[in-house]
């Protein structure tokens, strides 16, 4: 039987060619008057997108300030910088231009500006809950994180090496503008890392013990097959706009909670394990997920065997006649092969790192602290389990 659930996905999506030209009109409709633009830099400039956004805002009489220099695994220091700018300019709206890093930074700044009497990092330490947040919008240029329609936000504290998440519906973007053409300039490694992240957002909700809905499973499986198909297309032909459109829309659907309706809340331990790798070694998030997932899957699959068998049959197209364990193992191996075929790592060596035993114990401890009472659904993990998964992924 499925679990009870509430589904809330309020983000308005404007998808397609030239959709960015509506930016000013849409933000004015939402009440924006003083906007902080949050973006990385070169890509937004070189594509001409930044100039188009500026012109669109000016046409509607909307003033704006800018925070540039956002990097992957977005940093707390940029959040603080954005809060300082926002206070000085009396910002009332955040607009992120980019991918998950820019959007997550904008969300964190929005929390900080709405409650300036508090340190925003307290939210990520989970010592308090946000009561207010300024409105956020996004213009998506990287399909991966799903932050454009999700309540999630992940920030790295560069001083402590902690990479922490905070989830709250207050920060769901009011609107997300998506033109797949702006993803065409991405390097293949970044495109494929994004595809892995999209898939993992779905798989984290798929490999669960507890109730499930058949329709939710069918949506999740179709999404996974679609992303895998188009990831291969883009690996061979990065200019294929149809494939980029499929991937961009899949990224939003994968993380707006649709693929978790009726389950027990999801597993998300692969993400939590990777967050600590990213916090210590500053690796590309999607690639880090690909590096740790095979080890996690082989460690937990016997405790969630029915789901791994279904995954093998319905997603990986395993036709092997054998025991459930053999079928499940074949599905894990097939996914591992897929990662390799699109240039993604399948262990930490291929990711370019090899943490020492002391480093593994450190990140395993951090993972358990960050996980709190939620240490998985496929299998509840403890400190020793996390250490073994990291070691097996090394």
Residues of the chain with pLDDT under 70: 1
Check residue 151 and give its pLDDT: 97
For domain 188-393, which architecture applies? Up-down Bundle (1.20)
For residue 359, the Cα-to-chain-centroid distance in whole angstroms is 25
Check residue 243 and give its pLDDT: 98
- Domain ranges for the chain, please list them: 12-183, 188-393
Instruction: Report helix, strand and coil shares of the chain as percent, to nearest 5.
Output: 55, 10, 35
Sign of the dihedral through C-alpha 224, 141, 79, 158: positive
Assign 3-class secondary structure to 126-146. Answer: CCCCCCCCCCEEEEECCCCCC
Entry pTM:
0.95
**Helices 241-254 + 214-236 axis angle, to 10:** 150
Instruction: Label residue 66 left, alpha or beta by phi (over 0 means left) and psi (-120 to 50 means alpha).
Output: beta
Domain 12-183 has CATH 3.40.50.1970: yes
Q: Is 188-393 the same fold as 12-183? A: no
The first and second tokens of residue 200, run together, are: 């993992």
Q: Please tell me the distance from the alpha carbon of residue 211 to that of residue 126, in angstroms, as a whole number.
A: 28
């Amino acid at each position: 039987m499925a679990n009870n659930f509430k589904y809330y996905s309020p983000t308005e999506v404007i998808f397609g060619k030239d959709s960015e030209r509506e930016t000013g009109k849409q933000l004015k409709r939402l009440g924006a008057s003083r906007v902080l633009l949050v973006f990385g830099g070169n890509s937004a400039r070189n594509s001409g997108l930044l100039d188009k956004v500026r012109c669109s805002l000016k046409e509607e009489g909307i003033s704006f300030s800018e925070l540039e220099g956002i990097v992957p695994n977005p940093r707390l220091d940029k959040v603080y910088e954005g809060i300082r700018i926002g206070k000085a300019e009396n910002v009332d709206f955040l607009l992120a231009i980019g991918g998950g890093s820019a959007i997550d930074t904008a969300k964190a700044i929005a929390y900080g500006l709405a409650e300036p009497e508090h340190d925003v990092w307290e939210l990520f330490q989970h010592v308090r809950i946000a009561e207010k947040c300024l409105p956020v919008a996004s213009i998506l240029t990287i399909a991966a994180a799903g932050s454009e329609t999700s309540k999630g936000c992940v920030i790295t504290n560069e001083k402590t090496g902690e990479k922490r998440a905070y989830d709250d519906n207050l920060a769901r973007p009011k609107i997300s503008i998506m033109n797949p053409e702006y993803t065409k300039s991405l390097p293949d490694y970044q495109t494929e890392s994004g595809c892995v992240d999209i898939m993992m957002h779905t798989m984290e909700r798929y490999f669960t013990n507890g109730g499930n809905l058949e329709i939710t499973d069918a949506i999740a499986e179709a999404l996974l097959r679609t992303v895998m198909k188009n990831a291969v297309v883009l690996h061979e032909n990065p200019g294929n706009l149809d494939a980029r459109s499929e991937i961009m829309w899949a990224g939003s659907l994968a993380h707006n909670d649709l693929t978790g309706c009726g389950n027990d809340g999801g597993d998300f331990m692969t993400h939590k394990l990777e967050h600590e790798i990213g916090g210590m070694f500053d690796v590309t998030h999607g690639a880090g997920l690909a590096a740790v997932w095979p080890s996690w899957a082989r460690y937990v699959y016997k405790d969630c065997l029915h789901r791994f068998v279904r995954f093998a049959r319905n997603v990986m197209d395993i036709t092997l006649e054998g025991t459930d364990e053999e079928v499940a193992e074949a599905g894990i191996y097939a996914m591992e092969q897929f990662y390799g075929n699109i240039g993604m790592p399948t262990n930490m060596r291929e990711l370019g790192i090899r943490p020492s035993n002391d480093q593994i114990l450190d990140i395993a401890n951090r993972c358990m602290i960050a996980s709190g009472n939620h240490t998985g659904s496929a299998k509840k993990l403890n400190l020793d389990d996390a250490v073994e998964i990291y070691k097996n992924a090394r």
